[in-house]
Structure 1
């Protein structure tokens, strides 16, 4: 009799644990869904950012429209039209053309989590001051990005920080002044006429 009662108690605790884990995962995902929705408006969005990590610190601005983005910092300007990426290095007047992977895009574009989080990651949800903080961990070992912490405003559901782990290195993006703005598709493609002296290197 006691054995049956113990088994029932264990099963009840296990059921409660599973239910709480599922509820937390769903809530974490719903926060990310709302954050993704806040930056996937048809017209486009712009924001400022500060990036810090093992390679130092820089700041700049970014424009996003769907999977397309345009980012500029004191060191470089990057265009991505959804398939091809152009990176202009200001110190040597050079443009590299490439077809980046999802992991490479994430390292450049903090908003790429809107495509990343939906598959292959587990979620937990915490709170920190005015933000929700969603902790994502890779469900499989093949993921280039092992962990992410995404901070999302409790009131606007706009992302305020993305912190990611690639290998053993953390990179942090702090995001400010996010706003909707109509952006032409031409802004996401490199125009050689604007950089007539630049050396173009095709790495595809």
Structure 2
């Protein structure tokens, strides 16, 4: 009986490890689809109990991104974030944390999923859904659900939990694009009347 229990335990452990590896493989392929050297662009909708709802367009190149919504435009060059608020013609300059970036950029999961999370995965006819749970109590993002298209490996939905509140990004029309690094920096010439407030 003890031997049978040990065999079943080992089989379960092997199956779980294989399943987790499959989930990580899906995320690796998903990350590769986003990490086009020249950049990618997409439309997104954000629904958040903590930050409100918005929609717009996002461009991503490596760690850099720019997002345009009706309320604000954001540029992030990998270190510095510029946030232009159209209602008061003001630009705030900050150095964001990884947790802050996660809420601003639905693709930021590609910079954090490889360490500090365990994986499980379910499938439907056309998509994989990977569930990530934090194994590091210091992480502000405790859980994520990432839905990945089976044909393209493009992410179609990213759902994350921070401070017991969920934020969901729906992503559509993702495509590669040729984006210069300058596109991810605020250019004061384009906003000559804006007040720049450095909060770093």
Greater radius of gyration (CA): 1
- Whether 1:165 aligns to 2:145 is no
Q: Matches of 1:97 and 1:21 in 2, distance apart?
A: 45
Count of aligned residue pairs for this structure pair = 199
Residue equivalent to 1:3: none
Aligned-pair CA distance for 1:98: 0.6
Which of 2, 5, 28 is the equivalent residue of 1:7? Answer: 2
Where 1:148 maps in the other structure, the secondary structure is strand
Which of 158, 167, 184 is the equivalent residue of 1:188? Answer: 184
Residue equivalent to 1:155: 151
Aligned-pair CA distance for 1:138: 0.3
Residue equivalent to 1:100: 96
After superposition, what is the alpha-carbon deviation per residue over 1:44-98, rounded to whole angstroms, capped at 9, x for unaligned? 1000000001143211000011110010000000000011000011111111101
Structure 2 unaligned blocks of 5 or more: none
Where 2:156 maps in the other structure, the secondary structure is strand
Aligned-pair CA distance for 1:129: 3.9
Which of 8, 30, 40 is the equivalent residue of 1:35? Answer: 30
Residue equivalent to 2:120: 124
Where 2:88 maps in the other structure, the secondary structure is coil
Which of 7, 13, 16 is the equivalent residue of 2:11? Answer: 16
Where 1:182 maps in the other structure, the secondary structure is coil
Structure 1 unaligned blocks of 5 or more: 1-5
Moved beyond 2 Å, runs of 4+: none
Q: Which moved more, 1:50-59 or 1:106-115?
A: 50-59
Aligned-pair CA distance for 1:127: 1.2
Residue equivalent to 1:81: 77
Aligned-pair CA distance for 1:128: 3.1
| TM-score relative to the length of structure 2 | 0.98
Where 2:10 maps in the other structure, the secondary structure is helix
Which of 125, 133, 137 is the equivalent residue of 1:137? Answer: 133
Q: Matches of 1:183 and 1:200 in 2, distance apart?
A: 25
| TM-score relative to the length of structure 1 | 0.96
Residue equivalent to 2:21: 26
